């Protein structure tokens, strides 16, 4: 049975000065889609009118109240937005929303159909269980996208597009600025617009939310409009009533809320809260509960697979990728491979969701060579009460990377294998010298078809290595909000942990390709307990053993920076500096003594590896140990202390320290 459409299909594209978003409804049990202009209530009325006309032509009685109630209760609200179809599901009836989704896929490509209400736990869980986090309508990821979202939310009812529309609640917000602009309308249009505001500010939609609400004020109630019958008033009285209402609206609105200015952060944030907020739900920042703030809006969810009765069902979007550009962009073949690997490892999967990190979360500016794709996976085994979250990182120099440099296939395979060993040995070396890395890392391989720049091997089947590690639900040290440092308990605990982490970092000589120290810039993750830092875990020892010969004192300024960069925010910066340096020195001396006590065990750590002149980890390892052995911890700490800026006596240094 084909879908019956009441209205235009596809809905007309938006035009300048017109609302970009149009509502619609679909009634899955009745196979009916309604796209006529207007609010959702009008569309249900349009269905009733259309159905009754059909029945009259067939000599049948009109819809009964019970039949109309059934149609309303089984309808799903939609929004058409520049080629996208957004489904607003009923959290209590997700089955109906998924039925609507399947019907809509007969009309539109799956990538162009998304779900709203991600802040609702029931909606979120139902979509996650299908392995379709990518179907959730994404929040804006940049300032430009936020501004565009605000602009695109403009909508109308009968008259002008004067409202900002919250798609979750169905409420249309009228701002003071827009209301002030209504005075420019001809008096007949002004009366009609005021009458629309009066009528719909008194109505509630089927979610029991107001159809129209006033933005930016709690002191000017919409019910003041009910005192007027604008359509029956004379033009002079309409103008007088409008001027009076405008004065009241303006007086009741804070000064920084009186102008619709997306450049004004306070107005912009307030408008985004109005457009995204749901009074019945606490606003969530992430789809995955417990995901640290640094991942907020940085994840690009990908199609993968869902599991039904133990069977892996690949997302149907993979069938569209050859004929739909948007599907091809979403279909990352790695995601499928990850799911297959997890299915083999766990055996009792309930669902898997895979996300691709849109860009590096580190603030460092260095561009590294090689492939650096990073993914996040949420795996829910049936046997575990909570999902498992992990980070998947593709090997930087794999077979494809070497082929891209023009090497032949055999050389690329051998060098990729050697690099895998190097990465694993480097982690072992870092742990041996006291770096607090995650306890376990898994190495996997997946098959890919080569499509790089080396045309000799285009289409060649190759194997790529990736590493899986635990996700740490903490926050990177460089992203800790300054407000937390106002607590002396928090600040001193952080200082000690930074000092403990800095000592092994300087010992192993972590530098980027430009010779800049890598520390306290995104890889160090703070774990908290009861709101106090208790541990720093290094997520990735990138750049380890880059420097193995310069004296430690050369980097005194860089290792003073963890204190200098926070000095302005600290209640007692000197206590913070002392705690940092004391922990640094204690840890440094402990590692040094441990090496000197077990010298042979350290020196021969990699003797089991076959000798390879092209691999320099073993030689660097020996030289790092020699430098550690002869180092003077007291001299190093004195050099770092000498680089610490006293902002109380050098005010001009504040800007530099904050930077």
Strand partners of residue 443 = 467
> How far apart, in whole angstroms, are the C-alpha atoms of residue 657 and residue 646?
10
According to DSSP, the β-strands at 532-538 and 524-529 are: antiparallel
For position 349, what pLDDT does the model report? 87
* Percentage above 90 pLDDT, the chain: 56
pLDDT at 546 over 80: yes
For position 289, what pLDDT does the model report? 43
Tokens 């209400």 belong to residue: 117
**Average pLDDT in the chain:** 86
**What strand order describes the sheet that includes 4-6?**
4-6, 32-34, 21-27, 76-81, 84-88, 113-115
> How far apart, in whole angstroms, are the C-alpha atoms of residue 86 and residue 21?
10
Each domain of the chain, given as residue ranges in start order, spans 4-118, 143-276, 293-470, 477-658
User: Structure tokens of 482?
Assistant: 């300054």
**Nearest residue to 543 (alpha-carbon basis) of 560, 564, 523, 561:** 523
- pLDDT band (50, 70, 90) for residue 367: very low
For position 290, what pLDDT does the model report? 45
For the chain, the residue count is 659
Contact 97, 76 (CB under 8 A): yes
Look at residue 67 and give its three-state secondary structure.
helix
> How far apart, in whole angstroms, are the C-alpha atoms of residue 48 and residue 66?
12
Q: Which H or E element spans position 449?
A: strand 441-449
Whole-number Cα distances in Å, 76 to 91, 290, 326, 643: 11, 30, 25, 64
Residue 585: CB atoms within 10 Å: 18
pLDDT at 55 over 90: yes
For position 269, what pLDDT does the model report? 83
- pLDDT band (50, 70, 90) for residue 603: very high
Dihedral sign for Cα 322, 325, 327, 333, please. Answer: positive
pTM for the structure as a whole: 0.71
Residue range 135-192, pLDDT digits in tens: 887 667 677 888 888 998 898 998 999 999 998 888 999 999 999 999 999 999 999 9
According to DSSP, the β-strands at 212-214 and 172-174 are: parallel
DSSP 564-591: HTTGGG-SSHHHHHHHHHHHHHHHHHHH
Residue 159: CB atoms within 10 Å: 16
Comparing 113-127, 437-451, 466-480, 546-560, the range with the smallest average pLDDT is 113-127
For position 224, what pLDDT does the model report? 86
Which CATH number describes the domain made up of 477-658? Answer: 1.10.1070
Q: Which long-range contacts (CB under 8 A, 24 or more apart) does 11-16 make?
A: 11/35, 11/80, 13/82, 13/83, 14/82
Contact 394, 363 (CB under 8 A): no
For position 532, what pLDDT does the model report? 95
Rg (CA), the chain: 31
Dihedral sign for Cα 441, 442, 448, 450, please. Answer: positive
DSSP-H helix ranges across 481-612:
488-507, 556-564, 573-597, 599-603
Half-sphere exposure of 250 (CA within 13 A, CB side): 12
pLDDT at 359 over 60: no
Mean pLDDT (whole number) for 643-649: 65
Mean pLDDT (whole number) for 503-513: 95
Contact 354, 302 (CB under 8 A): yes
**Nearest residue to 221 (alpha-carbon basis) of 194, 198, 237, 187:** 198
Residue range 260-318, pLDDT digits in tens: 999 888 898 889 888 876 443 333 334 344 454 445 446 788 887 778 877 888 888 88
**Nearest residue to 133 (alpha-carbon basis) of 339, 299, 306, 353:** 353
Mean pLDDT (whole number) for 18-46: 88
> How far apart, in whole angstroms, are the C-alpha atoms of residue 236 and residue 95?
54
**Nearest residue to 253 (alpha-carbon basis) of 218, 212, 201, 210:** 218
Look at residue 311 and give its three-state secondary structure.
strand
Contact 548, 624 (CB under 8 A): yes
Query: Which DSSP letter does residue 606 get?
Result: T
pLDDT at 49 over 70: yes
User: Structure tokens of 280?
Assistant: 């019945």
Query: Which DSSP letter does residue 136 get?
Result: B
Assign residue 117 a region (left: φ > 0; alpha: ψ between -120 and 50; beta: otherwise). Answer: left
Mean pLDDT (whole number) for 437-456: 91
289 φ, ψ (degrees, to nearest 5): -65, 135
Contact 301, 330 (CB under 8 A): no
Query: E strands, 35-89, where?
Result: 76-81, 84-88
Q: Which H or E element spans position 639?
A: helix 633-642
Tokens 């969701």 belong to residue: 353
Whole-number Cα distances in Å, 4 to 1, 28, 31, 34, 624: 9, 10, 6, 8, 74
Residue range 337-351, pLDDT digits in tens: 998 899 888 888 888
> How far apart, in whole angstroms, are the C-alpha atoms of residue 213 and residue 220?
10
> How far apart, in whole angstroms, are the C-alpha atoms of residue 287 and residue 125?
9
Residues 6+ apart with CB under 8 A from 96: 28, 74, 76, 89, 90
């Amino acid at each position: 049975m084909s879908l019956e459409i009441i209205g235009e299909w596809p809905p007309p594209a938006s035009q300048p000065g017109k609302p970009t978003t149009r509502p619609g409804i679909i009634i899955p049990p009745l196979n009916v889609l309604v796209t006529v202009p207007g609010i959702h209530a009008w569309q249900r009325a349009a269905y009733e009118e259309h159905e009754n006309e059909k029945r009259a032509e067939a000599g049948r009685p009109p819809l009964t109240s019970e039949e109309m109630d059934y149609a309303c209760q089984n309808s799903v609200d939609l929004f058409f937005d520049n080629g996208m179809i957004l489904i607003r599901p009923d959290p209590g009836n997700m089955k109906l929303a998924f039925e609507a989704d399947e019907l809509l896929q007969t009309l539109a490509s799956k990538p162009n159909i998304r779900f709203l209400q991600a802040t609702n736990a029931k909606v979120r869980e139902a979509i996650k269980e299908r392995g379709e986090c990518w179907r959730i309508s994404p929040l804006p990821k940049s300032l430009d996208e936020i501004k565009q979202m605000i602009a695109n939310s403009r909508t109308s009812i009968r008259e002008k597009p004067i409202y900002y529309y919250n798609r979750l609640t169905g409420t249309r917000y009228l701002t003071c600025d827009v209301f002030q602009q209504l005075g420019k309308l001809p008096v007949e249009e002004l009366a009609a617009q005021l009458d629309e505001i009066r009528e719909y500010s008194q109505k509630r939609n089927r979610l029991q939310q107001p159809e129209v609400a006033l933005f930016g004020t709690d002191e000017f109630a919409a019910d003041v409009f009910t005192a007027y019958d604008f359509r029956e008033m004379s033009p002079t009285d309409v103008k007088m009533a409008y001027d009076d209402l405008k004065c009241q609206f303006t007086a009741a609105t804070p000064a920084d809320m009186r102008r619709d200015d997306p450049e004004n952060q306070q107005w912009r944030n307030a408008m985004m809260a109005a457009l995204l907020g749901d009074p019945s739900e606490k606003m969530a920042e992430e789809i995955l509960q417990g995901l640290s703030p640094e991942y907020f809006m940085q994840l690009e969810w990908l199609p993968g697979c869902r599991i039904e009765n133990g069977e892996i069902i690949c997302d149907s979007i993979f069938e569209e990728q050859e004929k739909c550009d948007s599907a091809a962009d979403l279909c990352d073949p790695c995601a499928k491979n990850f799911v297959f690997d997890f299915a083999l490892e766990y055996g009792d999967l309930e669902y898997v969701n895979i996300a691709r990190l849109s860009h590096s979360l580190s603030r460092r500016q260095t561009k590294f060579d090689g492939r650096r794709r990073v993914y996040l996976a949420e795996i829910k085994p049936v046997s575990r009460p909570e999902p498992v979250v992990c980070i998947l990182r593709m090997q930087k120099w794999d077979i494809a990377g070497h082929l891209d440099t023009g090497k032949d296939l055999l050389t690329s395979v051998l060098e990729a294998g050697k690099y895998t060993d190097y990465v694993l040995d480097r982690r072992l070396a870092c742990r041996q010298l006291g770096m607090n890395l995650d306890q376990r890392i898994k190495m996997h391989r997946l098959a890919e078809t080569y499509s790089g720049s080396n045309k000799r091997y285009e289409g060649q089947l190759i194997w790529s290595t990736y590493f899986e590690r635990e996700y740490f639900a903490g926050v990177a040290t460089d992203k800790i909000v300054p407000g937390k440092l106002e607590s002396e308990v928090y600040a001193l605990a952080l200082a000690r942990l930074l000092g403990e982490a800095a000592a092994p970092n300087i010992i192993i000589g972590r530098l980027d390709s430009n010779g800049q120290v890598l520390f306290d810039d995104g890889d160090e993750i703070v774990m908290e307990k009861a709101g106090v830092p208790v541990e720093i875990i290094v997520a990735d020892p990138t750049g380890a053993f880059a420097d193995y010969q310069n004296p430690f004192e050369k980097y005194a300024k860089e290792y003073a920076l963890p204190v200098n960069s926070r000095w302005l925010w600290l209640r007692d910066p000197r206590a913070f500096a002392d705690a940092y340096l004391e922990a640094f020195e204690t840890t440094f001396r402990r590692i040094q003594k441990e090496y000197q006590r077990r010298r042979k065990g350290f020196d021969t750590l990699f003797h089991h590896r076959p000798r390879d002149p092209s691999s320099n980890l073993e030689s660097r390892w020996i030289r790092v140990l020699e430098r550690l052995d002869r180092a003077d911890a007291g001299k190093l700490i004195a050099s770092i202390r000498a680089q610490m800026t006293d902002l109380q006596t050098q005010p001009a240094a504040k800007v530099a320290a904050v930077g």
